[in-house]
């Protein structure tokens, strides 16, 4: 058996029958809609990118500020070690 | 867009003159700037593309869907169109062929070639000597022994009246390959039809 089939058409397709399926207004309407969607998509993507970059920059700026404010790192470590020894502090 | 004018190709074309092709290319350029201008090309080629797809689908509604999908893709990718000395229709036929192939890949149905009775008669008239007479059922039976690519080559050459440059463009092969494929297909068909004579 072949992968294809050959058929014979006895009736020709008339121009008016074909014209029933013609719809340029629909085609151009879809094109406009798609163009608008594409533009909106681009605007959204660029907006998201700017927002992400701004968020990253803000995070790094805040992080560097916090690092500057922190006391000497050696002191902080020794304080934490003391706390883990279950020492009872008298108030 | 590149312009590669090939006078030989245009002279061989039976339907479209060099002036027509140039005008058509200008229409494409106008449509790139203003998509509403695409209507000229849409009106000119809708029926031809519809008929071409219908031959391979044999279902009016599916054909209508694939035809609109073909024109939609053409309009969407018009900026990418490069002029290669063949009519704009060759590009549409190429898109249509890809869409039909996609349809068969998705549906996994058997490929159909639905030809008009008159088209069979023309094919035989042009290629087989007058004293031979064949009925269509016999021609179809013999054609089923050919490969799909042979049928496609015959279809484009004899049912769509495409020249070799256009066939090459549509099938994405070289012009000499298109010639070889078409002549080989017609030779094969002749031999298959002669079998009854023997």
CB burial of residue A50 (10 Å; 0-12, 13-18, 19+)? exposed
First and final C-alpha spacing in chain B: 55
A8-22, B45-59, B95-109, B171-185: least confidently modelled range: A8-22
- In this prediction, residue B52 carries a pLDDT of 93
Average pLDDT, chain A: 81
Other Cβ atoms closer than 10 A to B15: 10
Closest by Cα among A50, A19, A65, A4 to B149: A4
Contacts of B112 in chain A (CB under 8 A): 4-7
Contact B18, B39 (CB under 8 A): no
| Residues 14 through 43 of chain A touching chain B, CB cutoff 8 Å | 15, 17-19, 21-24, 26-28, 30-32, 34
Contact yes or no for B100/B75 (Cβ under 8 A): no
Half-sphere exposure of A43 (CA within 13 A, CB side): 6
Look at residue B83 and give its three-state secondary structure: strand
Instruction: Find, in chain B, the residue whose alpha carbon is nearest to that of A16.
Output: B47
DSSP 8-state symbol, A11: S
Q: Where are the domains of chain B?
A: 7-107, 117-194
Cα–Cα distance, A70 to B187 (Å, whole number): 89
Task: Answer yes or no: are the C-beta atoms of B165 and B5 closer than 8 Å.
Answer: no
Closest partner residue to A10 among B68, B113, B117, by Cβ? B117
Rounded to an integer, what distance in angstroms lies between the CA atom of residue B73 and that of residue A61? 48
For residue B96, is pLDDT > 50?
A: yes
- B117 touches B73 (CB < 8 A): no
- Output the pLDDT for position A83: 56
A46 in B contact zone (CB under 8 Å):
no
Subunit contact A9:B71, Cβ cutoff 8 A: no
Write out the CATH class of domain B7-107. Answer: mainly alpha
Contact B38 A28 (CB under 8 A): yes
Q: DSSP code of B103? A: H
Identify the helix (H) or strand (E) that includes residue B111. strand B111-116
Is B78 strand, coil or helix?
helix
CA torsion sign for A42, A44, A47, A48 is: negative
CB contact under 8 A, A31 and B140: no
B43-80 residue pLDDT tens: 999 999 999 999 999 889 999 999 999 999 999 999 99
Size (chain B), residues: 198
B155 CA: distance to closest CA in chain A (Å)? 12
Q: Which helix (DSSP H) or strand (DSSP E) does residue A26 occupy? A: helix A24-69
pLDDT tens track for B142-197: 888 899 899 999 999 988 889 999 999 999 999 999 999 999 999 998 888 887 65
Candidates A3, A9, A19; nearest CB to B114:
A9
Q: Where exactly are the structural domains of chain A? A: 22-73
Q: Report ipTM for this prediction.
A: 0.74
The residue of B68, B140, B152 whose CB has the most chain A CBs within 10 angstroms, and thus the best one to mutate to test that interface, is: B68
Confidence of residue B2 (pLDDT cuts 50, 70, 90): very low
List the beta strands (DSSP E) in chain A.
4-9
| Total count of residues recorded for chain A | 91
Q: Taking 50 as the threshold, does the pLDDT of residue B7 lie above it?
A: no
**CATH architecture observed for domain B117-194:** Orthogonal Bundle (1.10)
Comparing C-alpha atoms, which of B153, B113, B116, B120 is closest to residue B136?
Answer: B120
Give the model's pLDDT for residue A1: 56
pLDDT digits (tens, 9 = 90+) for B25-45: 899 999 999 999 999 999 999
């Amino acid at each position: 058996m072949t992968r294809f089939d050959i058929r014979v058409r006895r009736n020709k397709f008339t121009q008016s029958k074909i014209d029933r399926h013609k719809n340029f207004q629909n085609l151009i309407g879809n094109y406009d809609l798609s163009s608008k969607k594409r533009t909106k998509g681009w605007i959204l993507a660029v907006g998201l990118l700017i927002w992400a970059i701004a968020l990253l920059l803000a995070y790094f700026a805040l992080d560097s500020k916090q690092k500057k404010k922190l006391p000497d790192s050696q002191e902080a470590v020794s304080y934490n070690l003391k706390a883990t020894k279950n020492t009872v502090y008298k108030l | 867009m590149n312009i590669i004018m090939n006078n030989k190709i245009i002279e061989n074309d039976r339907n479209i003159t060099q002036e027509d092709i140039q005008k058509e290319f200008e229409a494409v350029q106008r449509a790139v700037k203003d998509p509403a201008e695409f209507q000229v090309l849409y009106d000119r080629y809708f029926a031809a593309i519809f008929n071409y797809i219908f031959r391979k689908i044999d279902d009016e509604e599916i054909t209508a869907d694939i035809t609109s999908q073909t024109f939609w893709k053409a309009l969407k990718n018009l900026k990418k169109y490069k002029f290669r000395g063949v009519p704009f229709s060759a590009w549409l036929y190429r898109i249509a062929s890809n869409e039909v192939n996609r349809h068969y890949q998705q549906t996994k149905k058997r490929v159909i070639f639905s030809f008009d009775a008159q088209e069979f008669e023309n094919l035989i008239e042009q290629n087989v000597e007058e004293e031979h007479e064949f009925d269509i059922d016999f021609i179809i039976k013999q054609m089923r022994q050919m490969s799909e690519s042979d049928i496609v080559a015959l279809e484009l050459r004899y049912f769509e009246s495409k020249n070799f440059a256009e066939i090459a463009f549509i099938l994405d092969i070289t012009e000499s390959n298109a010639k070889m494929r078409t002549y080989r297909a017609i030779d094969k068909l002749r031999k298959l039809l002669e079998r009854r004579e023997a």
